[in-house]
A and B are shown apart, each in its own frame.
Chain A
């Protein structure tokens, strides 16, 4: 077998001009997001908060699936642990939620380290099953440990007065999410992120060139878990409750669905996926008595007929239109 030469590195993507356009669009988007609560009604504001949290949850997950090619099916465990970190600190030590949030990535990351230490010993579908099984274990522990977690009654969390108005909470979540996404972006572009890409593209070759593949995978698992923890820490005060269902495998399917719906090969893909997911979910739960059935059928159709995800299909259609216009 001949070794294919690697394609030459792309020169810093197409010139300063496109960089400038990107910066302008990105900056405008951020300013727009900060102005949003001054035009949106309260119910849409809650939906927007939901979207921001899910976007961070999905992007943190895509560090595994999109970047490192690790198919985890237990990501909700770390999301839920983030929520419980805030809730337990609030209930046992009266720590306010915005301070508790700072602890959430460390707790979620530490548990992810313990699980990942075992899980990265296997790959592929095995890895999916194992992360799922460990996720359900954590779910069961949270469910059963009444004295510490409140069991299936959940644990109440109250945000401080200044965070109670929807507008303030939105601005808080927006800021935390943007900072977290920026950090994740830097990680994906770093040497560490490049190494994860190499593992996804060809694990065997990555091992041969001397990468400590398991350590990189473990690192990705811990970082993804930590950021999922931050997302979960913002979820609990929103519902004013931490529930065991936040750790359930049904919740673990959500970042997978969001990443696939938006596309796993770009950083922004899962964010688009989160928007699609939150909106679809909102419509279905509002109008259908059997949301799981409708949702399952939609997912089935998307998987069968839109291989590039919803976002991919939209881009395809757009390009076809443009070509026809020319």
Chain B
């Protein structure tokens, strides 16, 4: 039983890593622009479908997946930049509800757009050669691809940390999270920063979509589940905090996966119990700053 729980926790960890990649983008957007971007799940879904198409076009499953990994995130990031520059910028000064509704409208358009371009069927993406087997942990098989996801998640976390602490762009983002008005007063081009952050965030959602495509199903509706979990992640972790998102995502992934062992249909309830506990103890999130 213990072994079973451990393997399940590992598999939750790999799922949590995908969630981290997506939620880190959302938390950066929220932290800098103060927009709860509903369309974030749509970026993820769009990337998953792009992965399917690119993989099918290329034919070879390894090269197909690698091609998708190189192509889909930049495409989705460009879509994000276009949405920020063309739509969100125009209503930046209006009350929150308009921005929320605008990103919601985008989720509707993307959902039907995908229906038009790809149809309503489920799609599957093959795992790259060498990653389709299983490794043995504690005498139990564990899918190689999931092990790779954990590794990739750690690499992306380190990469994002370096981006935020070592580059000018990253430092500006962190400054914007801490005090948005101040960096405008200090002469940072806030407009350009917002477009950049939105593109980066959308790109991360896209990267998550590519990574998830070979493990989950590529289907309509995956936008909703990921966006709800991502919101839970950033509430747990604290807004604008990438390391908080990592902790929140791993927590949710593991709690959810282990919860499935005990109550398959209601596992998501355990996630919310964790969420409520965090809210009671630290309403600003585990690593968030109180305002």
Expressed in whole angstroms, the Cα–Cα distance for A144 and B34 within the complex equals: 34
Is B98 a contact partner of A145 (Cβ separation < 8 A)? no
Instruction: Look across to chain A and name the residue whose beta carbon is closest to the beta carbon of B271.
Output: A137
B105 at the interface (CB under 8 A from A): yes
Binds B, one of A87-95, A101-109, A293-301: A293-301
Question: Are B266 and A144 within 8 A (Cβ)?
Answer: yes
Q: Among residues 288 to 307 in chain A, which have CB atoms less than 8 Å away from a CB atom of chain B?
A: 290-293, 295-297, 299-300, 303-304, 307
A 122-145 binary contact with B (CB < 8 Å = 1; else 0): 101110111011101100110111
B235: which of A65, A129, A141, A260 is its contact (CB, 8 Å)?
A129
Q: Look across to chain B and name the residue whose beta carbon is closest to the beta carbon of A126.
A: B235
Q: Is A277 an interface residue (CB 8 A)?
A: no
Shortest beta-carbon distance, A69 to chain B, in Å?
9
- Min C-beta distance of A234 to chain B, whole Å: 26
Q: How far is the CA of A137 from the CA of B267 in the complex (A)?
A: 10
Indicate if A249 sits at the interface (CB-CB under 8 A). Answer: yes
Q: B116 near A303 (CB under 8 angstroms)? A: no
Do A260 and B87 have beta carbons less than 8 Å apart? no
Q: Given the complex, which residues of A lie within 8 Å of B268, measured CB to CB? A: 137, 140
Query: When A65-B97, A140-B268, A307-B94 are in contact, do A300 and B87 touch as well, CB less than 8 Å?
Result: yes
Binding site secondary structure of chain A: helix
B101:A132 contact, CB within 8 angstroms:
no
Interface residues of chain B: helix, strand, loop or mixed (majority)? helix
Q: In the complex the two chains form, is A297's CB within 8 Å of B109's CB? A: yes
B124 within 8 A of A: no
Chain B residues within 8 Å of A145, by CB: 265-266
CA distance A256 to B101 in the complex (A): 8
Residues of A within 8 A of B98 (CB): 260, 303, 307
Interface: A73 (CB within 8 A): yes
Asked whether B283 lies within 8 Å of A260 as measured between CB atoms, the reply is no
Interface check B126, CB cutoff 8 A: no
- Nearest-neighbour CB distance to chain B for A265, whole angstroms, equals 11
In the complex, whether B54 has a CB less than 8 A from a CB of chain A is no
Cβ–Cβ < 8 Å partners of B87 in chain A = 300, 304
Instruction: Report whether A303 and B280 are in contact in the complex, using a CB–CB cutoff of 8 Å.
Output: no
| Bound Cα distance from A133 to B226, whole angstroms | 11
> Which residues of chain B are near A256, meaning CB under 8 Å?
97, 100-101
> In the complex, which range does the number of interface residues on chain B fall in?
35 or more
Chain A 168-208, CB-CB to B under 8 Å as 1, else 0, gives: 00000000000000000000000000000000000000000
CA distance A128 to B101 in the complex (A): 11
Chain A residue with Cβ nearest B234? A129
In the complex, what distance in Å separates the CA atom of A53 from the CA atom of B106? 27
**A303–B105 contact, CB under 8 A?**
yes
B97 touches A133 (CB 8 A): no
Query: Considering the complex, which residues of chain A in the window 211-255 have a beta carbon less than 8 Å from any beta carbon of chain B?
Result: 249, 253
* Residue in A closest to B98 when the chains form the complex, CB atoms: A303
Smallest CB gap from A253: residue in B: B104
In the complex, the answer to whether B102 meets A303 with C-beta atoms within 8 Å is yes
Tell me which of A121, A137, A249 contacts B269 (CB under 8 A).
Answer: A137
* Interface membership of B171, Cβ < 8 A: no
B108 touches A293 (CB 8 A): yes
Partner of B232, one of A133, A253, A300: A133
Asked if A276 is at the interface of the complex by the 8 Å CB criterion, the answer is no
A73/B280 in contact, CB under 8 A: no
Which B residues are CB-close (under 8 A) to A128?
36, 96, 100
- Residue of A137, A143, A300 touching B109 (CB-CB under 8 A): A300
Residues of chain B within 8 A (CB-CB) of A129 are 36, 231, 234-235
Contact A132 B228 (CB under 8 A): yes
Known: A128-B96, A133-B231, A293-B108. Contact between A300 and B102, CB under 8 A?
yes
11 contacts between A and B (CB under 8 A): A121-B283, A133-B232, A136-B224, A249-B224, A256-B100, A260-B101, A293-B112, A296-B109, A296-B112, A300-B87, A304-B87
Beyond A143-B265, A293-B112, A296-B109, 14 additional pairs, beta carbon < 8 A: A121-B280, A125-B30, A129-B231, A129-B235, A132-B228, A145-B265, A256-B97, A290-B116, A292-B112, A293-B108, A293-B109, A299-B102, A300-B87, A303-B105
Task: Identify the A interface with B (CB < 8 A).
Answer: 65, 71, 73, 118, 121-122, 124-126, 128-130, 132-134, 136-137, 140-141, 143-146, 249, 253, 256-257, 260, 290-293, 295-297, 299-300, 303-304, 307
